[in-house]
Every structure is written in C-alpha cells, then in structure tokens.
Copies of this chain bind each other. A is one copy, B any other.
C-alpha cells in the first residue's frame, strides 16, 4: 500500500523550520536514525547519538538550528527537532477517520444520543441517556453507562468502561481497558454491623469523573468516581497505563502521569506536574504547579510548586541523591566508627 508522500519543502511548510539542501527530495515516511533509509526523514536532537546521525542513510534529517551542513543529505533545521519530527510523523500517520454510523451489533439504548458523524462499532454499548459527540469513535467492547457524556473527536479504544454519569471532553483518547468511574475505595468500619458482627460499611460513591479536553488515558488505568463531587483530570493532561487515581483526586492541566503511578483519595495536583513511573502519593495532599517526582518516589507530605522530588519517603531530589550516595558508604562507615571507638578506648587507656 502506497502511503502519503511529501517533498522536504512541503514538510517544512507544514511543521516549520528551514531546509538546508534539496527541498525537492521526496519523503515517504519517518524512521529513527539507525533504521532510516533513502526516502525517509529522521531526527537528531540528542548529541549522544551523533555517531548514528553520521552513519544515517535518511534522505533528510530534522536537526537543531546550529547543525552544520551534511554532504549528501538534506537537513531541516528547527528550534525544536523532536516536536517538528512528531508533527512530520503525523503527516504520515494521520488519525483514523470515523466511518459514520452505528453497527447493527452494537447495543445503543433508545434514549442515547449518538451524533450522526460518530462511529459506533459492533459490540459497543451505549447506556440510557448517554451522548456521543461528533466524529467520536467507539471501538468494540466499549461500555458507556447511563448518562455518560463523551465529547467530539474522541477515540475510545476497545473494552474501555465509563460508568454512569461521568463526562469526557473533546479530543480525548481512552486507551483499551481503562476504567473511568469505578467506585472509590471508601468504607466506614462498623464494629457492630447490626448484630451480625463487624463489617466494613460501604460509603456510597455518588460522585463522578470528569475528564477534560485533550486528555489521554492509558490502557487499563483506573480513575475512580468521587465519593461526592468530582474526580478530575485537567485539560491536556496525559496519563499512562495502569495508573490508579483514587476518589476525589484532581490532576491539574498539562500534567504527565507515567505508568503504574498511584494517587490516593482527595490528593490535588496543580498544573504541569510530572510523576515518574510507579510513584505513589498518599491521600489528602496538595502538590504545587510544576512539581516533579522521580520514578518509584513515595510521597507522604504536601509538595510546593516547582519542587523536584525523589526517593521513598520523597525528599528534594538533590538531598535524596546525597543520601543515596552516602548509603553506599554505610557498611564501611560502620567499620570506621568501630575503629574510632577502639582507638579512642586505647587513647583513654582502656583495655
């Protein structure tokens, strides 16, 4: 199958930057430096890969503005090569266009409103009073509960579940198997249990989840509905796979939440927060704008805006690095202290 093709100059016109070399060279795809061949566009942003760049056989390479001309190869010089490359890659991998209509093997409640331009595939399910916006795609196995609203231009991949009453904005991507609106984990211990002995009494989880515009939620990620009120993922935030967001959590806009992160109930994150993989935050915290957390970081206290945190329990990153380095010397330190004690005893004339 022949895909789309562009000249380098056409790509430059679309993604920005300045061509150095032959703007008429045809480009039929994008590839990493090591795998790129003639007819492809690659990119070089990390100086660590200069050798691969030198060896690279791509017809053209996206580079930083100060990159010197390369014989036998065209360059596209831009301020942000990775971003330009991403935009160029989008030219060759456009998003799926919806095929308007509801498959006869889908289950759509009579009271649901599905926009005429939306695509509802076989074996998808849309509950009573739910709405699906223009050009949104529901893949097989998707289940939208009662009263769920999904906006325009969304992609809802197979087996996603959005439970009753939750809301998804426009241009949202829900990867396969993610669950929005499961009950939050809330129980009140009941020592008597109405005569039947102790029990954990279920606190009704009567709130919802709101996912704002331009958000992406990863595969098998779980975002619990609020006990009362809203669990919110802010505009433009990206959440990776297998993440757990508890009831009443709020993640501010433009944040990045990496794989397997867990955030316990009622913790509020500001704008542009970055959480490394497997990091964990206990409940009821406030995390300031732009705070960053290393992988596996364990956070038990509020964190102010702009802080960079690492370790468990989470500490300012620089402090944590010092502790980490010191830790490696700890077994030897024990010996040194023992030695000091002996010598001191000798000085004091002890046996």
Contact = CB atoms under 8 A, between A and B. Distances in A.
Interface of A: 30-32, 35, 80, 82-83, 85-87, 89-90, 92-93, 103, 105, 107, 121-123, 125, 139-141, 143, 145, 157-159, 161, 163, 173, 175-177, 179, 182-183, 185-190, 198-204, 206, 214, 216, 218-220, 222, 224, 228-229, 236, 238, 240-242, 244, 246, 254, 256, 258-260, 262, 264, 277-278, 280, 282, 295-296, 298, 300, 312-313, 315, 319, 322-331, 333-334, 336-337, 340-341, 343-344, 347-348
Contact of A159 (B31, B143, B315): B143
B228 A35 contact: yes
A271 to B, nearest CB: 10
A127 to B, nearest CB: 8
9 contacts: A31-B228, A92-B206, A105-B107, A159-B161, A200-B236, A246-B259, A260-B262, A319-B328, A347-B348
A182 B188 contact: no
Nearest to A181: B176
Given A141-B143, A322-B331, A179 B107 contact: no
A122 B126 CA distance: 10
Contacts of A241: 179, 182, 185, 222, 224, 244
B323 A201 contact: no
B254 A200 contact: yes
Contacts of A122: 107, 125
Contact of A86 (B204, B282, B323, B347): B204
B204 A89 contact: yes
Contacts of A140: 107, 125, 143
